[in-house]
Amino acid sequence: MDRVAIVTGASSGIGRAIAHALGAEAISVVLAARREHLLRELASELDSQTLVVPTDMADQLQVRRLVDATVERWGRIDLVIGNAGIWHHASIEATEPSLWEEMIRVDYLANVWLTLAALPHMGSGSHIIFINSLAGFRGVPSEAPYAAAKHALAGFSSVARQELRSRGISVTSVHPGRVDTAPFESLRVPMVQQKQPPEVVAKAVLSAIHRPRPHIYVPAVRGRLYAWFGLLAPRVFDALARPFKLEGELD
Ligand SMILES: NC(=O)c1ccc[n+]([C@@H]2O[C@H](COP(=O)([O-])OP(=O)(O)OC[C@H]3O[C@@H](n4cnc5c(N)ncnc54)[C@H](OP(=O)(O)O)[C@@H]3O)[C@@H](O)[C@H]2O)c1
């Protein structure tokens, strides 16, 4: 039987590219996000079997329904791709209290709820992949709620990886740098952070599916350098973040 994947945030950007990549591998795909019309449009483009489940990932009950609908249709889950996320660019002081909570819900807690609901239906050889960010290693100015949520997700993934190992379930954290998607359209970034097409991240996800690894950086070398530099030389990183305009500039 074909493998079954849940992709959250499939209606646009990276999630949409991942759904296309999975479809091309004949993997049955459950498409989740809030904008149902975009999910239906995407479903009509895929060659593999699809199931559209409009879902607000900020709502725990809806996340559970997403898993229930998948199990009702196919009786199993082989791949969970936790990709849905929001991003916001503002200083700490200019960020509304409600946004901190929303960011934690969508970028972090939704992935925990999804994992908890999906795990009873996942067997040996299955795989959970979270689309994190380089901000999950080291945040930059104007991205505090985002970096906080992605750090929480990184912590969750690393423990889930250790706990699920004995069950034969892999957990991969994918850490892209800047990607050319709608939320980042108006963000001008420095040369060192050139935006990549979402298809590059989808290709990295496929490579993780074929050869499970704990972390994938996109791009591989620059992403790894960024992560290690932030860890090994934090004071230098902090001093250089602003002069190198790593936070980018909104148009
Ligand atoms: N673009 C980058 O530079 C970059 C870099 C590193 C990591 N990432 C990560 O990549 C992931 C995808 O982002 P993207 O760049 O592809 O942006 P995007 O095009 O805006 O995609 C975000 C997706 O998440 C969904 N989503 C947002 N809130 C949701 C909610 N409450 N419930 C369900 N779905 C929700 C959106 O669907 P609906 O609006 O239809 O619900 C959309 O499909 C995010 O986790 C992001 O943090 C992006």
Average pLDDT, the chain: 96
Q: How far is the CA of 107 from the centre of ligand 1 (A)?
A: 9
Dump pLDDT digits (tens) for 48-86: 999 999 999 999 999 999 999 999 999 999 999 999 999
With beta carbons less than 8 A apart as the criterion, state whether 107 and 149 touch: yes
Q: Which pLDDT does position 126 carry in this prediction?
A: 98
Q: How far is the CA of 181 from the centre of ligand 1 (A)?
A: 9
pLDDT band at 1 (very low <50, low <70, confident <90, very high): low
**Ligand 1 within 6 A of 184 CB?**
yes
At 53, is the secondary structure helix, strand, or coil? strand
Dump pLDDT digits (tens) for 190-230: 888 899 999 999 999 999 999 999 999 999 999 999 999 99
Q: Which pLDDT does position 152 carry in this prediction?
A: 98
**Ligand 1 within 6 A of 129 CB?**
no
- Encode burial over 179-195: b for 16+ CB neighbours within 10 A, e otherwise: bebeebeebebeeebeb
User: How far apart are alpha carbons 14 and 19 in whole angstroms?
Assistant: 9
Q: Which pLDDT does position 39 carry in this prediction?
A: 98
Closest CA to 29 of 14, 43, 12: 43
CB atoms closer than 10 angstroms to residue 54: 17
Q: How far is the CA of 233 from the centre of ligand 1 (A)?
A: 30
Comparing 19-33, 84-98, 104-118, 224-238, the range with the smallest average pLDDT is 224-238
User: How far apart are alpha carbons 244 and 112 in whole angstroms?
Assistant: 34
Q: Which residues does residue 171 pair with via DSSP β-bridges, in sequence order?
A: 128
- Average pLDDT value for residue range 228-240: 92
With beta carbons less than 8 A apart as the criterion, state whether 29 and 50 touch: yes
Dump pLDDT digits (tens) for 142-186: 999 999 999 999 999 999 999 999 999 999 999 999 999 999 998
Please name the residue that has the structure tokens 């970028």: 107
- Closest C-alpha to ligand 1, atom 7: 133
Percent of the chain at pLDDT exceeding 90:
90
CATH no. of 4-250 = 3.40.50.720
Three-state SS string over 164-232 comes to HHHHCCEEEEEEECCECCHHHCCEECCHHHCCECHHHHHHHHHHHHHCCCCEEEECHHHHHHHHHHHHH
Estimate to the nearest angstrom the gap between the alpha carbon of 29 and the chain centroid.
16
- In this predicted structure, the answer to whether residue 117 has a pLDDT above a threshold of 80 is yes
The residues that are catalytic are: 146
Model pTM above 0.85: yes
CA angle 3, 112, 158 (to 5 degrees): 85
- In this predicted structure, the answer to whether residue 91 has a pLDDT above a threshold of 90 is yes
Closest CA to 159 of 112, 107, 224: 112
Q: Residue 74 carries which DSSP code?
A: H
Beta strands 187-188 and 249-250: pairing type? antiparallel
Q: Which pLDDT does position 128 carry in this prediction?
A: 98
* Ligand 1 probe mutation, 87, 107, 146, 196, most atoms within 8 A of CB: 87
**Atom of ligand 1 lying closest to residue 134 CA:** 6
